[in-house]
Amino acid sequence: MQGETRDPTVAVFGGRAAKGLAMRLSSGRTVRLLSADRSVVESSRSAPFEARHVDYRSANLSEHVADAAAIVAPDRDRIGLLVAQKLAASGAADRILVRLNDPEYEAAFEDIDCELLDFGSVLHETVESSLGPPPA
């Protein structure tokens, strides 16, 4: 239907850092935090987003994504690789963005249809933007 806007739903996978990202994204989006850390889920009960405990190894992750964009931001790249592989194989996510902590893991993601966000590069861009251009 023309003029109809789709709800911009985002599924964020990870722990405490992912919770912070979910909090920031929740203004203007429907956000679902999916964490293997029960304490992160419990501490999110009053947050403006839904939080679910998920065992990444055994869960059918497509049930939690439902045509949302997926942001995979766990603390360890091996967990990010597992989640990205499962999401890509299911085809349930509109788009998969993965936070890469260690650039040495980049090659492991080559065969996965996902967009890598190198943590160092993203942080560098943010810091440069905040500080302004370096002195000449």
All structural domains of the chain, each given as residue ranges with its CATH number in brackets, are 9-131 (3.40.50.720)
> Mean of the pLDDT values across residues 70-83?
94
Q: Contact, 15 vs 40, CB < 8 A?
A: yes
Residue 66 has pLDDT above 90, yes or no: no
Enter the pTM of the model.
0.85
In whole angstroms, give the CA distance from residue 32 to residue 49. Answer: 6
Residue 2 has pLDDT above 70, yes or no: no
pLDDT (0 to 100) of residue 111: 94
